[in-house]
Amino acid sequence: MSDWLVPYLVFNGNCEEAVNFYQGVLGGESQILHFSDAPPNPAFPVPEEIKNFVLHAELRKDGHVIRFSDTFPNTPSNAGNNISFSLEFDTKEETKAMFEALSVGGNVEMDLNETFFSPLYGKFTDKFGIRWQVSCKPR
C-alpha cells in the first residue's frame, strides 16, 4: 500500500501554482479541488476571497502521492507548519483508533467528523509537534 503515509503540503493561496510547478518538474497526474467545489455548509461558510483556493489536490506518479492544499484565512502556514502527514485507513474503527492513539498529549485542531470527502476525518499536532491528518477511505 504505497499511499499509507503521505506528505501533505500547505500553501498561503498559491497551492495551484505549486501543484502545477511540481507536476511540470516531476511529471505524473494531478487532481485539484477548489473550495468552491465543496458542497455549501452553513456551519462553515467559505469566504468569497478563497473560493478559488485549493481545498485539496494530489499529484500521483509511479504509485507515489503528494497531497496539497491552501490554508484557510487567519491560519497562515509558515516553514515548519506547512507540512503534515496524511494517514488513510480502510475502516472507521482503524481511523478512530489511530487518531486517538497518535493525538494523546497533542493538540487536536479538528476532531474526527464525517465530511463530504471522508466518512471520518480529523487533524492534530502530536506531542512532538508533528502535524497529522487522519481519514477513512470513502466507500
Q: Strand pairing of 83-89 and 131-136?
A: parallel
CA gap 39, 132 in Å, rounded: 24
Is 42 inside any structural domain?
no
Nearest CA-CA partner of 100 in 129, 71, 120? 120
Looking at the structure, tell me whether residues 99 and 54 fall in a common domain.
no
pLDDT in tens, 10-38: 989 999 999 999 999 889 999 999 999 99
Give the count of domains, the chain.
Answer: 2
Looking at the structure, tell me whether residues 14 and 65 fall in a common domain.
yes
Contact (Cβ atoms closer than 8 angstroms) between residue 40 and residue 117:
no
Quote the domain boundaries for residue 88.
83-139
Strand order in the sheet with 5-11: 29-34, 54-61, 64-70, 5-11, 83-89, 131-136, 121-125, 107-113
Q: Can you give the pLDDT at residue 45?
A: 87
Looking at the structure, tell me whether residues 58 and 89 fall in a common domain.
no
pLDDT in tens, 39-64: 998 988 888 999 999 999 999 998 88
pLDDT in tens, 55-89: 999 999 988 899 999 998 788 788 777 889 898 99
**Domain containing residue 131: CATH number:** 3.10.180.10
Is 43 inside any structural domain?
no
Looking at the structure, tell me whether residues 1 and 62 fall in a common domain.
yes
Q: Is the pLDDT of residue 127 over 70?
A: yes
Is 5 inside any structural domain?
yes
Q: Can you give the pLDDT at residue 3?
A: 61
Contact (Cβ atoms closer than 8 angstroms) between residue 110 and residue 84:
no
